[in-house]
Amino acid sequence: MPDPVAQLLADLAHVPPHVLLNAIRSGLRLREVTSQDFQHHDVFSLVYASLESNAGRLTLIEVVRSRPDTSEKAAEIAQLLYPAAPLLDEPEFQRILALLHQCAVDDLGALFHAATQGNALSLPSGLATLPALFIFLTDSNTRPGTLPPALRLVAYAIRNLVYQQSPVLQELVTDLRTWLYRQCDRLRDVGDTKAAVELDDLLRNPPPFPREDFPVSLIVELDRLPAPNDQRDLYQIRHWRQTDHTRWQPMAMGSENVPRAQVPRRVYELISEAEEEWARKERGPLILEFLLSPELINLGVDQWPQDMGNGLPPRKLGLDYEVVIRSDSRLRPLRRHRDWRARWERCMSGAGVAHLAPLHKEMDLAGLHHKLRVGDHLVALVLSTPPDQEPGRSQLRAAMDAGLPIVLWSRNSAQNKDFCQSLRDVVQSQQLRRLPTSVRHIRSTAAEICDNFALLWDDPNHRVASTGQLKRPN
């Protein structure tokens, strides 16, 4: 129990410290003292001694309730001190452990960080399984109105299972969700509405990331700003930061106009600022999401340099971060958003298929468009050329109209053959949902052959308020 509890007890209005001290001593059958004997540290010593047992805690509660001060502060102290009831009875506890044994977890440390909302520094040593972590968290203290971290752990543990098609896993998801909804009802029954709302929100709202390492995101929107001939070539930069692990809720950080030549440098500064702010409180990888207008869709954002300092040579952003491109409302027609969402879910479930546009053949645009529209299983397209030239430009339009959420291309058409060969393993159905991580790996290991390629990775759940077409500045 932290020092502020003892401080609150000592600071209760209308209760002189020596009176409070005597009340505690009397409750614990200890000798009384006079005000001359009182030492402030005695209150702290007695409070901490009282917290060692349920009897001592109940005594402190009675002391608080017996005083004339009936403020909210006194009620809060009573809530903090009341002995905690067990979260689960033994049969239910064992049943949940058996269910958790069936959940595969790639990164237990990230799960622990999210379940504790970043309040714990690191995963305690010796905890190597999800059931062991659940047992550990059921013993954690929780303030009233706060969701117990053990329940939050289970909610996060099932988030990836919903994307998998195995009947066994779907049954597991159903069992765990049913149990968590019962916990919502229990929390409401005891008046803990705030915690119940948080748990219900975790269960109902789609998770921000279909992965277990809980990344954070920096979203950057770039658009060319129309300007008179006598002005510099300006670009508008808007950016957001996304850190909430329970919902997609990026925080707008500002907008500015920057000369074209300074855009890469300014983006690197935004990344550095985000890294510095998140250094002590955020875990997991940082994803860079670039929201680009159609005319900038082939911009080599993953090739932009980072100034490493200390005399080290610059490094490309794509080597150190998962860099993805996002569409805007001008590229993806609204009438195809329903198909877009459906194909994204199919991709996340491991049932989606990638289509590679044939190389060195005359393009049949009508045939490709028809294939993409009727092929509900198709979720990704690999272009035969960059989208700022034909036929890649038309292929991209066909993919957007069909609602495909994923498009890849090489910015160097001469390397298309090597590029497509490097992708064959990572665009298999079960691997597609890990594509941003796979692409970063390819960029790092095949730098001489095909590092200069783009990934449009367009999660329909990750929308931000786009500017639309920009107007000429006054």
Please report how many Cα atoms fall inside a 13 Å half-sphere around the Cα of residue 361, on the Cβ side.
Answer: 9
On the question of a cis peptide bond just before residue 391, with omega within 30 degrees of 0, the verdict is yes
Residue 196 clears pLDDT 70, i.e. is over it:
yes
Residue 391 clears pLDDT 70, i.e. is over it:
yes
| Residue 60 burial (C-beta neighbours within 10 Å; 0-12, 13-18, 19+) | buried
pLDDT per residue over 67-76, tens digit each? 555 555 556 5
Determine the number of helices (DSSP H) and then strands (DSSP E) in the chain: 19, 11
| Residue 63 burial (C-beta neighbours within 10 Å; 0-12, 13-18, 19+) | buried
- The pLDDT of residue 4 is 43
pLDDT band with cut points at 50, 70 and 90 for residue 120: low
Q: Give the range with max mean pLDDT: 32-41, 158-167, 276-285.
A: 276-285
Q: Report if pTM > 0.85.
A: no
Rounded CA gap, 386 and 437, in Å?
A: 22
pLDDT band with cut points at 50, 70 and 90 for residue 470: very low
Pick the range with the lowest mean pLDDT from 85-89, 232-236, 344-348. Answer: 85-89
Average pLDDT over residues 411-430: 86
Helices 130-138 and 108-115: crossing angle, nearest 10°?
20
Continuous H helices in 279-414: 317-320, 337-348, 365-374, 392-402
Q: Which pair of tokens denotes residue 461?
A: 């759940």
pLDDT per residue over 226-278, tens digit each? 766 656 688 999 999 998 877 888 999 999 999 999 999 999 999 999 998 88
- The pLDDT of residue 323 is 96
What's the mean per-residue pLDDT of the chain? 81
In the chain, pLDDT over 90 holds for what percent of residues?
38
